Amino acid sequence: MDHDRAPAAPGGGTRARARLSEPGSPVCTPDWLTLREPADHAARSESLAVELDRWLGSDETVGSDDTVVVRDLGCGTGSMGRWLAPRLRAPQQWFVHDRDADLARRAAASLPVPATPVVGNVESIDLTGTDVVVCSALLDLLTADGLEALVDACAAAGAAVLFTLSVSGRVRFDPVDPEDARLAAAFDAHQRRDRLAGPDAADLAADALARAGHVVRREPSPWRLAGGSDGSRPLAEEWLRGWLDAAAVQDPSLDVDGYLPRRLAAPFAVEVGHTDVLGLPR
């Protein structure tokens, strides 16, 4: 489970918990997805999108008149498609996949290119005839075996992949608090529970893609949020609550009820690490 879908901590603590995701559920609410979209768009690697566009336009892949079939896994409200589709020059047909039917419909209706909603889990997706597979903030929710199976399916289809915003485990606050390191360690452990890929997801995906014969590039794609008076304050606070909730579930001895008001008492900035991975068939 990634840093944006943390369950609420048990017990009757006094802190204000994360409000925009359902406790214990990997399904995100539309309000949360809307709140994070500007930060997602700013963080994703522009250079990897440019490289994907060049690959799609080469003689070895699709012709200038061919329609590129793109599948967005775990599409949410369609943020990935709204960001990427305008950056690809080829004609496109998107299939937006989510286990939440309402989110899939919203995503399809919002894209600037033809899009079809598909309801279902990642494990049941048929990638036959797919040119590009994309996702955002999804890989860390998969097990290592599930992630490798996804890469194998992409390779079997001959599809390029662009996996964005996989949590990396790197969190840097300014100013620093003495409890930051303990909280970060507990959060990372929570991410890896039940054999989930968590902060290892980008490395696991890159290694699996290389073994499958893809040319692989990775780029950092951090959120840079300010907990002051600028426009990212609401997201910084909401992310912080979710981060603390997950840490508290993993290590109930942590004093998150003391940490949160201390952190919110003054302006702060935080860099939340993510990694984007591009894989292109040779």
Secondary structure of 212-233 as H, E, C letters: CCEEEEEEECCEEEECCCCCCH
Spatial distance between the Cα atoms of 198 and 180, rounded to a whole number of angstroms = 19
What is the chain's percent helix, strand, coil content, to nearest 5?
45, 25, 35
3-class state of residue 278 by DSSP:
strand
Give the pLDDT confidence score for residue 282 in this predicted structure: 87
Q: Residue 65 — pLDDT band, cuts 50, 70, 90?
A: low
Tokens of 214: 């893809």
Pairing outcome for strands 223-226 and 269-281: antiparallel
Which amino acid, residue 35? L
Q: What is the pTM of this model?
A: 0.88
Give the pLDDT confidence score for residue 258 in this predicted structure: 97
Average pLDDT (4-29) is 43
Give the pLDDT confidence score for residue 8 in this predicted structure: 37
Give the pLDDT confidence score for residue 35 in this predicted structure: 92
Tokens of 278: 């591009």
Least confident interval from 21-35, 134-148, 149-163: 21-35
pLDDT, tens digit, 9 for 90 and up, residues 141-160: 999 999 999 999 999 999 99
Helix 144-157 and helix 201-211, axial crossing angle in degrees, nearest 10: 40
Tokens of 8: 């609420």
- C-alpha distances (whole Å) from 77 to each of 32, 35, 37, 144 are 10, 11, 10, 26
- C-alpha distances (whole Å) from 102 to each of 85, 119, 250 are 21, 9, 31
Give the pLDDT confidence score for residue 96 in this predicted structure: 97
- Rg, the chain, Cα only: 19
Least confident interval from 25-34, 40-49, 144-153, 248-257: 25-34
Average pLDDT (176-198) is 96
Q: Quick one: DSSP state of residue 185?
A: H
Spatial distance between the Cα atoms of 140 and 263, rounded to a whole number of angstroms = 27
Q: Which domains does the chain have, with CATH numbers?
A: 30-281 (3.40.50.150)
- C-alpha distances (whole Å) from 210 to each of 1, 30, 51, 176 are 25, 35, 17, 37
Spatial distance between the Cα atoms of 273 and 94, rounded to a whole number of angstroms = 28
State yes or no: pLDDT of 3 exceeds 90.
no
Give the pLDDT confidence score for residue 124 in this predicted structure: 76
